[in-house]
């Protein structure tokens, strides 16, 4: 042990030892023998890499050190188990390539200890999942032990083509992931638990080929996600970014989704989504940002929505969320309207965005979930509908209520759009196969409402003695006075959706 190979990778954790693992097809001037040198044969190269790790941990005075991987191709047939106080460095993402062996069906890198460790670095390499010849396996899975591995640093690592996920970092805190590319994995691109980490300047896209997954899934808390690019393709049928945790921050990202899902889906609390570019894709994303019924106290501010989303740029089914100052989704506007002498009303175009009718996923039960909602809500107040399967027959039937009452019972499912009330519609794709008592919630907001307007006369009212706001629609509101003022009257107005 103890040989030291110099630049470009010559920094050593805590002054520990250094080992070198040389690929069977390495072209550089690497050591061919000696203490701390491991020569691979191109079959199960994980054996040599694991031996280098184990040797450093066992013999280094600091129980850690640096392992340098040469350029070339390494075949991985079993999971490489990592440890704390360890840095593993390749020669670049186009130079050092680790590829999962055919039918290996394992994670490439893992951690399975029962103790807590700190400081693991993985840098400058490509991880190839070979999913054409594997049915399982992720690139890095720090989620298999009862202990935690904290302060993980992933830098210039490129996991691709895994049958499962690129990175699963589910333990500890202090992750720094930067300059990484994660593409073409069948499940989640990057899944984060733990807390207090950063994802910076990464490119994550075209993952979730199996559907129902995401490019980035934040399940933990207090992550900073800054300056990344998230994108999808025709084969990617999951959400762009899903936030299930609390107090996370997405700032300055470029988020592009091309299929009928959400660019950003939020189910957690007190998250900040600010100053992002959010694009509708060529295949029509359903939403730019969707906050579901569990989302509370989130802030969606200063973002730019680009394109025409198939449902809406924003949907808010949660509570206490603040949506302000976004471009492409107008929640505040103001101006001056002039009531002309001889008139008692003036219609004003408010220009606010119209929240869509929103259907949550199944809220009671776990049976067939095949519903969609549609229509333009014409009611005068926010309405919440609950649709419940009443009988399982041919066809199935449902009951529905609005705001806890009214509605109808025993409505036969037709398989096409069925109107509930006030323009709100529900569609079941199948007419049979539903489970009795399964239920869905539809939120139908009024956009805007009277409380969203502030109107102030800014000069003499003339003969008029009072004014009020009437006839609010999705595009206009009307200012009305009690009598002809006998002169022009200017009203300053401000509309803001609360």
DSSP state string for 166-228: SEEE-SSB--EEES-EEE--SS-SEEE-SBS-EEES-EEES--TTSS-EEEEE-SBS-EEES-
pLDDT at 290 over 60: yes
Mean pLDDT of 230-247: 81
Q: Is the peptide bond before 315 cis (omega within 30 degrees of 0)?
A: no
For 414, counting Cβ atoms within 10 Å of its Cβ (0-12 exposed, 13-18 middle, 19+ buried), the class is exposed
- Supply the pLDDT for residue 183: 93
Mean pLDDT of 193-202: 93
Between 237 and 37, the higher pLDDT residue: 37
Q: With bands split at pLDDT 50, 70 and 90, how would you rate the model's confidence at 286?
A: confident
- Supply the pLDDT for residue 64: 84
- Supply the pLDDT for residue 234: 56
Between 315 and 244, the higher pLDDT residue: 244
pLDDT at 13 over 60: no
Residues 198, 174 contacting (CB under 8 angstroms):
no
Q: What is the pLDDT of residues 449-483, one digit of tens each?
A: 778 889 999 989 899 999 999 888 778 899 999 99
Query: Structure tokens of 343?
Result: 């008139």
- Supply the pLDDT for residue 171: 67
pLDDT at 191 over 60: yes
Which whole-number Å values give the CA distances from 237 to 165, 184, 341, 417, 436, in the listed order? 15, 12, 58, 24, 29
Cα–Cα dist 164/411, whole Å: 42
- Supply the pLDDT for residue 361: 62
- Supply the pLDDT for residue 363: 76
Q: With bands split at pLDDT 50, 70 and 90, how would you rate the model's confidence at 9?
A: very low
Cα–Cα dist 86/476, whole Å: 63
List the one residue out of 150, 81, 152, 153 whose CA is nearest residue 113: 81
- Supply the pLDDT for residue 33: 75
Characterize the bridge pairing of strands 214-218 and 418-419: unpaired
Between 111 and 148, the higher pLDDT residue: 111
Tell me the HSE value of 212 on the side-chain side, using a 13 A CA sphere. 3
Mean pLDDT of 444-448: 73
Per the document, the length of the chain is 498
Confidence (pTM):
0.78
- Supply the pLDDT for residue 133: 98
Between 363 and 174, the higher pLDDT residue: 174
Mean pLDDT of 122-126: 98
pLDDT at 338 over 90: yes
As a whole number of angstroms, the longest Cα–Cα distance in the chain is: 101
Between 126 and 234, the higher pLDDT residue: 126
For 222, counting Cβ atoms within 10 Å of its Cβ (0-12 exposed, 13-18 middle, 19+ buried), the class is middle
Between 448 and 122, the higher pLDDT residue: 122
pLDDT at 274 over 90: yes
Residues 485, 342 contacting (CB under 8 angstroms):
no
- Supply the pLDDT for residue 334: 87
* Location of structure tokens 């649709």: 387
- Supply the pLDDT for residue 118: 79
Q: With bands split at pLDDT 50, 70 and 90, how would you rate the model's confidence at 318?
A: confident
Residues 247, 222 contacting (CB under 8 angstroms):
yes
Q: Catalogue the long-range contacts made by 332-336 (C-beta closer than 8 Å, 24 or more residues apart).
A: 332/494, 332/495, 332/496, 332/497, 333/494, 333/495, 333/496, 334/492, 334/493, 334/494, 334/495, 335/492, 335/493, 336/458, 336/490, 336/491, 336/492, 336/493
- Supply the pLDDT for residue 10: 38
- Supply the pLDDT for residue 112: 76
Cα–Cα dist 479/467, whole Å: 7
Which SS3 state, helix, strand or coil, does residue 55 take? helix
Q: What is the pLDDT of residues 34-52, one digit of tens each?
A: 788 999 999 999 999 999 9
- Supply the pLDDT for residue 5: 39
6 contact partners, CB below 8 Å, separation of at least 6: none
Cα–Cα dist 329/313, whole Å: 7
Mean pLDDT of 261-282: 90
Other beta carbons within 10 Å of 252:
13
Q: With bands split at pLDDT 50, 70 and 90, how would you rate the model's confidence at 211?
A: low
pLDDT at 260 over 60: no
Q: What is the mean pLDDT of the chain?
A: 87
Percent of the chain clearing pLDDT 70 (strictly above) = 89
85 contact partners, CB below 8 Å, separation of at least 6: 13, 14, 16, 57, 60, 62, 63, 64, 65, 117, 118, 119, 120
- Supply the pLDDT for residue 250: 98
7 contact partners, CB below 8 Å, separation of at least 6: none
64 contact partners, CB below 8 Å, separation of at least 6: 13, 14, 16, 56, 57, 83, 84, 85, 86, 119
- Supply the pLDDT for residue 115: 72
Q: For residue 47, what is the DSSP state?
A: H
Other beta carbons within 10 Å of 359:
23
Q: What is the pLDDT of residues 377-399, one digit of tens each?
A: 777 677 889 999 999 988 999 99
Q: What is the pLDDT of residues 400-420, one digit of tens each?
A: 999 998 899 999 999 999 999
Percent of the chain clearing pLDDT 90 (strictly above) = 58
């Amino acid at each position: 042990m103890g040989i030291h190979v110099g630049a470009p990778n010559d920094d050593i954790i805590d002054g520990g030892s250094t080992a070198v693992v040389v690929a069977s097809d390495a072209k550089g001037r690497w050591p061919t023998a000696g203490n701390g040198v491991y020569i691979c044969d191109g079959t199960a190269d994980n054996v040599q890499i694991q031996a280098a790790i184990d040797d450093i941990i066992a013999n280094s005075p600091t129980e850690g050190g640096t392992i340098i991987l040469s350029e070339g191709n390494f075949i991985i047939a079993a999971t490489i188990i990592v440890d704390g106080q360890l840095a593993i460095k390749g020669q670049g993402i186009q130079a050092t390539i680790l590829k999962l062996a055919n039918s290996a069906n394992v994670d490439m890198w893992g951690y399975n200890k029962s103790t807590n460790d700190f400081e693991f670095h993985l840098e400058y390499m490509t991880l190839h999942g070979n999913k054409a010849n594997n049915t399982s396996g992720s690139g890095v899975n720090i989620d298999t032990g009862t202990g935690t591995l904290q302060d993980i640093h992933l830098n210039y690592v490129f996991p691709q083509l895994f049958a499962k996920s690129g990175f699963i970092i589910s333990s500890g805190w202090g992750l720094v992931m930067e300059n990484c590319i994660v593409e073409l994995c069948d499940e989640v691109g990057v899944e984060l638990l733990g807390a207090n980490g950063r994802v910076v300047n990464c490119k994550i896209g075209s993952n979730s080929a199996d559907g129902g997954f995401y490019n980035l899934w934040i399940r933990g808390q207090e992550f900073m996600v800054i300056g990344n690019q998230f994108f999808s393709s025709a084969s990617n049928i999951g959400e762009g970014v899903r936030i299930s945790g609390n107090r996370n921050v997405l700032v300055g990202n470029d988020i592009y989704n091309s299929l009928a899902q959400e660019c950003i889906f939020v189910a957690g609390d007190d998250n900040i989504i600010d100053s992002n570019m959010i694009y509708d894709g060529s295949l029509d994303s359903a939403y730019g940002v969707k906050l579901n019924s569990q989302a509370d106290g989130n802030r969606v501010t200063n973002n730019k929505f680009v394109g025409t989303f198939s449902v809406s740029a924003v949907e808010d089914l949660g509570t206490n969320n603040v949506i302000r100052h976004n471009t492409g989704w107008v929640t505040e506007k103001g101006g001056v309207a002039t009531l002309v002498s001889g008139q008692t009303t003036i219609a004003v175009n408010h220009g606010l965005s119209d929240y869509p009718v929103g259907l949550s996923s199944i809220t009671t039960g776990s049976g067939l979930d095949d519903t969609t909602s549609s229509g333009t809500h014409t009611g005068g107040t926010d309405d919440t509908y609950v649709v419940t399967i009443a009988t399982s027959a041919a066809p199935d039937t449902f009951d529905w209520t609005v705001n806890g009452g009214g509605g109808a019972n025993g409505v036969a499912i037709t398989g096409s759009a069925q109107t509930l009330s006030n323009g709100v519609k529900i569609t079941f794709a199948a007419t049979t196969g539903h489970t009795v008592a399964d239920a869905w919630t539809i939120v139908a907001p009024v956009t805007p409402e009277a409380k969203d307007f502030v109107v102030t006369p800014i000069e003499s009212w003339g003969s008029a003695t009072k004014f009020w706001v009437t006839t609010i629609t999705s595009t206009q509101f009307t200012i009305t006075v009690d009598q002809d003022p006998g002169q022009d009257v200017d009203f300053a107005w401000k509309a803001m959706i609360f």
